[in-house]
């Protein structure tokens, strides 16, 4: 094991064993600007509708399930059912809080109306047709590899990221009957994992650039951001363009103004901004920005803001882009909301389509917190959903908000 991998593994294992002593201290910090209102971060009014729901992937080892919650006008969550995926959840080796160690393990495709979930323990992917708060027409397909942990969608294409073995991405067509494997689309990531990967050496996320012209995959211990330019027929280039990460342990990413890619790096809790060139190379637009927190892994956009989950001390950091496109923190302390002793093990995040609400999975506590996004980026807690699969032999991971 490399010296870098060993250091990162030791750090996160310690986090898992002794999570978290900072909550009570951090609550004394000043988070929101004086007089800030808790309005939509996108500037749009939230309206009630039958399609307002939050989906949480339980990732249970004996049978993966999707937990469905009705979302109210105020962001509150009410249990509305649970659905078996027809596959098993999984737990990566030495995972401290996040069993799948990835972003994008549960994805909603607005175009097709399908909810897509990975079944890491059985090497399959499940699609459901979403009808309001109900999941229908379950279909299960092989993922094309071992230990699927993430899904990327662009148009009629879905690519599944498999974390086990050498790692791979496998393409599928999205149609009326769910997912159909795309011939000739599988590409290796060249990793060196067991069938159940070590969480530090598994890939962090697969995702398409906004124009759909490239598929991007982050690797953690390898410290690379690998870009597959897309070819005709929806298949990637034979090999990825391998870019060295500007900071250690690139994990999740999202996209900002002008298609700029923001990558969260866990080693020093930084975010680096890149431009993805047509040839697959990356140009660094802004050097790593530190949030002063511990082990930033997840990163999602909410309208004009961005939010990152720091699993090491169970905080959420807020970011915004300046008029010139520069990324900056929403406040000096790097925390968008005071942490809570009952909300430990922050992992995956989800944002409603209008950017008004952010939902955060707390793996250790087995809860999901909902926050209203303020006009200056602060977060006000509006709900907590309880009794979800807490991290133990495995735990929930994957969340979608509509």
* Order of all β-strands in the sheet with 224-229: 203-208, 214-219, 224-229, 241-244
Measured CA to CA, the distance from residue 72 to residue 81 in angstroms comes to: 16
- The answer for residues whose C-beta is within 8 angstroms of residue 1's C-beta and 6 or more apart is 9
Over the stretch 72-120, which tens digit does the pLDDT of each residue have? 999 999 999 999 999 999 999 999 999 999 999 999 999 999 999 999 9
Residue with tokens 């708060």: 133
C-alpha span between 246 and 233 (Å, rounded)? 32
User: Residue 205: inside a domain, yes or no?
Assistant: yes
Asked if residues 285 and 296 have their Cβ atoms less than 8 Å apart, the reply is: no
Q: Identify the domain containing residue 80 by its residue range.
A: 3-17+51-401
Residue 138 tokens read as: 């379950």
In this structure, how many other beta carbons lie within 10 angstroms of the beta carbon of residue 111?
A: 10
Distance (Å, rounded) from C-alpha 335 to C-alpha 337?
6
| Sheet arrangement for strand 357-362 | 346-351, 357-362, 367-373, 379-385
User: Collapsing DSSP states into helix, strand and coil, what is residue 9?
Assistant: helix
State which residues of the chain have pLDDT below 50: 1-7, 10-11, 13-49
Residue 143 phi/psi, 5-degree rounding, is -80, -10
pLDDT (0 to 100) of residue 8? 52
Residue 28 domain-assigned (yes or no): no
pLDDT at 339: 81
Is 391 within a domain? Answer: yes
Output the pLDDT for position 336: 93
What pLDDT is stored for residue 36 in this prediction? 39
> What pLDDT does residue 355 have?
96
CB atoms within 10 A of CB 125: 27
pLDDT more than 90, % of the chain: 84
pLDDT of residue 31: 36
Q: Tell me if 137 is assigned to some domain.
A: yes
CA 373 to each of CA 88, 176, 308, 319: distance values in angstroms, whole numbers, following the listed order: 34, 35, 13, 12
Q: Residue 136, Cα to own-chain centre: how many angstroms?
A: 24
Q: Is the peptide bond before 20 cis (omega within 30 degrees of 0)?
A: yes
**41 occurs within a structural domain:** no
Q: What integer pLDDT is reported at residue 12 of this predicted model?
A: 52
Q: Which residues pair with 255 in a beta bridge?
A: 261
Residues 6+ apart with CB under 8 A from 91: 59, 61, 99, 120, 196, 393, 394, 395
Residue 173 lies in a domain: yes
Closest to 289 in 3D by CA, of 315, 259, 311, 319: 319
Buried b (16+ CB within 10 A) or exposed e, 79-91: ebeebebebbbbb
Domain count, the chain: 1
Contacts of 361 (CB under 8 A, 6+ apart): 56, 346, 347, 348, 349, 368, 388, 396, 397, 399
pLDDT of residue 382: 97
Q: What is the pLDDT of residues 3-38, one digit of tens each?
A: 344 445 544 544 443 333 333 333 333 333 333 333
Residue 302 falls within a domain, yes or no? yes
Let me know: does 224 contact 243? Beta carbons within 8 Å: yes
> Which 8-state DSSP code applies to residue 263?
E
Q: Are 363 and 97 in contact (CB under 8 A)?
A: yes
Residue 315 falls inside a structural domain: yes
Look up the CATH number of the domain holding residue 386. Answer: 2.130.10.10
How many helical (H) and strand (E) elements, i.e. helices and strands, does the chain have? 2, 29
Tell me, what's the pLDDT at 41? 40
């Amino acid at each position: 094991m490399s010296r870098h991998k060993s250091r990162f593994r030791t750090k996160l294992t310690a986090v898992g064993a002794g999570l978290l002593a900072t909550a009570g201290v951090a609550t004394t910090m000043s988070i929101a600007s004086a007089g800030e209102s808790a309005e939509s971060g996108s500037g749009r009014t939230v309206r009630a509708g039958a399609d307002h729901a939050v989906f949480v992937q339980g990732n249970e080892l004996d049978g993966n399930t999707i937990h469905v919650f009705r979302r109210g006008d105020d962001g509150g969550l009410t249990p509305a059912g649970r659905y078996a995926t027809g596959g098993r959840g999984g737990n990566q080796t030495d995972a401290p809080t996040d069993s799948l160690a990835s972003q994008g393990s549960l994805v909603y495709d607005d175009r097709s109306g399908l909810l897509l979930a990975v079944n890491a323990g059985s090497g399959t992917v499940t699609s459901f047709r979403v009808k309001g708060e109900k999941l229908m027409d379950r279909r299960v397909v092989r993922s094309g590899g071992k230990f699927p942990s993430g899904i990327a969608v662009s148009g009629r294409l879905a690519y599944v990221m498999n974390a086990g073995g050498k790692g791979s991405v496998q393409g599928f067509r999205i149609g009326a009957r769910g997912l159909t494997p795309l011939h000739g689309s599988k590409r290796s990531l060249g990793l060196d994992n067991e069938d159940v990967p070590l969480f530090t050496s598994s890939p962090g996320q697969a995702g398409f650039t906004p124009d759909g012209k490239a598929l991007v995959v982050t690797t953690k211990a390898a410290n690379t951001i690998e870009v597959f330019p897309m070819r005709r027929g929806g298949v990637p280039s034979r090999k990825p363009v391998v870019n060295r990460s500007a900071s250690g342990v690139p994990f999740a990413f999202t996209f900002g103004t002008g298609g700029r890619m923001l990558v969260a790096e866990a080693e020093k809790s930084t975010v680096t901004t890149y431009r993805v060139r047509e040839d697959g190379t990356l140009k660094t637009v802004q050097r790593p920005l530190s949030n002063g927190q511990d082990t930033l892994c997840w990163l999602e956009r909410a309208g004009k803001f961005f939010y990152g989950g720091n699993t090491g001390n169970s905080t959420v950091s807020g970011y915004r882009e300046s008029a010139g496109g520069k990324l900056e923190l929403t406040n000096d302390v790097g925390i968008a909301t005071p942490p809570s002793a009952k909300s430990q093990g922050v992992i995956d995040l989800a944002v409603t389509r209008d950017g008004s609400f952010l939902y955060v999975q707390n793996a250790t506590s087995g809860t999901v917190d909902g926050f209203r996004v303020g006009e200056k980026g602060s977060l006000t807690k509006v709900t907590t959903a309880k009794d979800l699969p807490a991290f133990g032999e495995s735990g929930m991971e994957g969340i979608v908000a509509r």
